[in-house]
Every structure is written in structure tokens, then in C-alpha cells.
Amino acid sequence: MLDIKFVRENPEAVKENIKKKFQNHKLGLVDEVIELDKKNRELKLKGDELRNSRNSLSTQIGSLMREGKKEEAEKIKAQVNEINNDLANNEVLEQEYSDKIKEKMMKIPNMIHDSVPIGEDDSKNVEIEKFGEPKVPNYEIPYHTDIMESLCGIDLDSARRVAGNGFYYLMGDIARLHSAVITYARDFMINKGFTYCIPPFMIRSDVVTGVMSFEEMDAMMYKIEGEDLFLIGTSEHSMIGKFKDQILQKKDLPYTLTSYSPCFRKEKGAHGIEERGVYRIHQFEKQEMIVVCEPEDSYNWYDKMWSYSVELFRSLDIPVRTLECCSGDLADLKAKSLDVEAWSPRQQKYFEVCSCSNLTDAQARRLGIRIKGEKGNYYAHTLNNTVIAPPRMLIALLENNYQEDGTVLIPKVLQPYMGGATKLEPKK
């Protein structure tokens, strides 16, 4: 959410930003907010005047009562009562205008960074750099669920009977490999100086609307019926929510946290063949990283965070590339975002495995996360990035390590987490 003062003083810049995000239907919100803000400030001024008048009259009442002028004092008391009624009505209107302003402000997208490429959707994202040599073997690589089934590592049919499409049972070596990847990612981030955390897997609605836009909320979140609770779509939600309504001390910054959680997502819409299996699912597990920091440090942390993802994937011998997300592909709260994509030798193309985002102070404003400053408090900056989401990570790992005889090599860094095993053997 933007600063109302910034919107008031820079309406054309805010409108231009909306145009760059190809959300012209939101242009009218800027003028609506400015008009509501004007009326609200007039109400606040009227409220201040009423309070001053009441205070002045109240002082007169005390003096008149001491002088024994009770009748005059009673007349002034009547005036004070009228002012109190006017003030009560004024405060109701103030709250109504404040609520309307907040509702509209939460729909206006965050200001994007000057370096963000302009484009209407993810087809206009820009490749930045490749890491590792993408290879295509001279033998066929099966679809990832076929590889898993050959290792007796997945049961989709039972999952459909139990929960429906978009769920799975991981079994045996594949389940162990899944856990190994998560544990390795946890230790990798701890070694980078991040504090390990297991957060709540459900959050209240005021946290949901603090960390994401209404559009994302509707498309992603599962609500618990009869309660003000939602299942998290990523642990970033509850990790950032941890700082809600807090005033942070400068000496404690930055907060660098890495968190494990299951994640639950609606994933609305039809999906193609490459999004079957475990590519796009309703439930998965993930290791996440978040940073809460000083505003001037956020882009340094942004570069560090995505570089950690590249380093982790390269430690597993998986080729990756980085993509700068264009303006139309940025969620409303994001100022800048970069995707890390892993190489798929079966498809002979890259696919997304991590997404690193700087939300500047957009989440902090919604959640009231401030830093105590010498000349007043100010809003922190928040960032998040995927460390590893094993379902997609497993696809990249299995495809890049699949051998012609059907075995799958286990990367050296994972072998200690797999009991020293160096490869997985097909069982059927």
C-alpha cells in the first residue's frame, strides 16, 4: 500500500505506474482516493476545531461555577453537549472515509522499480544470466511421474481417491529424497546466517490482506469454514505476519529468517500436460527465506537472496537461469521480482523453481511494521524468496540426474541425507 501523502503529491506518477502494469481499470482509483482524502482531512480539521471549542468552553464552566454563576454555566454545558454530539457524528464520518480510502488504496499497485522491464505478461520477462551448461542426453528422459513410478515413489491414484486431483502420495526413496532436499536447503540457509523457523500454518484475515492483494487472496487461499483463519499458500505469509504492529529496533535489523512449512493453494484454472504430476498441486512443502530490513538495504538483500537460490541449485549440479519479471507479471505489492528457472532436459527448456521479490514498504504499511528512528518511526522493507519447493525441485533433480539404465544419481551434497546412497535404482 502506498503512502497517501505520496499519492496526493504525485497523482500522475501513480497513474503512470498503473499504466505500466497494464491495469488501466484502476486509474480512477487515484482521483477517488485524492477526493476522499480531501474530504477526510476537512473532517479532521473540523474535529480539531470542535475539540478546541469544547476545551475552551469547559474551562469557562469551571470558572463560572467557582463564581457561583450556575445558570450561565448550565447554558455553556448545553453548548458542550451539542459539540460532543457534533464531534461524535464527525468521528463516525471520519472512520467511514478512512475505511473507504484504505479499501481503495489497497487496490492501487506498489510503485515498481525503475529497472523493471515493461511488458503485459510473463512472455515479456527478460533473461538475465545462465548458470551451468544445459545438457540434453542422447537417450529419452521419461515424464517425471513415470520416473517416480519406476522407483515406486509416487501414488497418484490413491491420492485422487482420498483427496481428489492435485494431491499425491510420495513413497520410499522419492519421499526420502524429498525430505533430504528440504533438510539440505534448511542447513544451506542456516549456514548463510539465517535463523530457522517453523511458523503457524494458518493465519487470520488481517494478516492475509496485509501480505497480498485481494486478487491473489481469492486465487490462492483456502479458508477454514466458520473461523477467521486461512491455510497459508507459503510460509512468507505467516513469517512477515510475525512482525505485524511491531516497532523494530535498528540494532536488531535485519531480520533474516528461513522457514519450513506445508503450503496450500487453490491453483484455479485448467493446466496443460506439463503442469500435471507434481508440477502444479494443491499441497506441497517448501523452504522459504524472508528479510525485514532498513529501506536503504533492501536491494542489496534482494541481490543476495536470489544469488543464494542460484548457488543452491548449482550445488546440486542443476543448470539454472535468472529472469527479470516484467511490469505486467508483478503482483500488486511487488516493486521488483526475479525468477530462477531450472533446466528441464526432457522439455529442453527452463521452468520456474524460485521467485525472489522486493516489496519495499508495501507489506509493512498494511501490517504496521515500523522501525524506531531518531526523528520518528518509519516503515521497514520486506523481501521473500523461495529456497526450495521440492515438488518442482524433484522434477529438475530427477531429469538432470536420470541415467539411460533408469537409475537416478544422487548429487554429492544430498548423499549424507540419503544414508550415503549414491543413486536410486528402478524397482519396476
Of 48-62, 99-113, 170-184, 288-302, least confident by mean pLDDT is 48-62
CATH number at residue 360: 3.30.930.10
Q: What confidence tens digit (pLDDT) does each residue in 181-216 have?
A: 999 999 999 999 999 999 999 999 999 999 988 778
Whether 48 and 194 share a structural domain: no
Whether 86 and 151 share a structural domain: no
Whether 232 and 302 share a structural domain: yes
In a domain, 117, yes or no: no
Whether 126 and 94 share a structural domain: no
Q: In 379-399, which positions are buried (b, 16+ CB within 10 angstroms) versus exposed (e)? A: bbbbbbbbbbbbbbbbbbbbb
pTM of the model: 0.90
Whether 213 and 71 share a structural domain: no
* Cα–Cα distance for residue pair 293/305, rounded to 1 Å: 13
Whether 292 and 218 share a structural domain: yes
In a domain, 95, yes or no: yes
Number of domain units in the chain: 2
Domain end point (choices 57, 73, 105): 105
Q: Which domain holds residue 404?
A: 122-424
Whether 153 and 181 share a structural domain: yes
Whether 101 and 127 share a structural domain: no
In a domain, 99, yes or no: yes
In a domain, 387, yes or no: yes
Whether 60 and 140 share a structural domain: no
Whether 159 and 98 share a structural domain: no
Q: Is the pLDDT of residue 28 over 70?
A: yes
Domain end point (choices 105, 136, 168): 105
Residue 428's pLDDT is 63
In a domain, 110, yes or no: no
Domain end point (choices 46, 71, 105): 105
In a domain, 150, yes or no: yes
Residue 417's pLDDT is 97
In a domain, 116, yes or no: no
Q: What confidence tens digit (pLDDT) does each residue in 141-167 have?
A: 999 999 999 999 999 999 999 999 889
Whether 188 and 337 share a structural domain: yes
Whether 101 and 141 share a structural domain: no
Q: Is the pLDDT of residue 64 over 80?
A: no
In a domain, 115, yes or no: no
CATH number at residue 65: 1.10.287.40
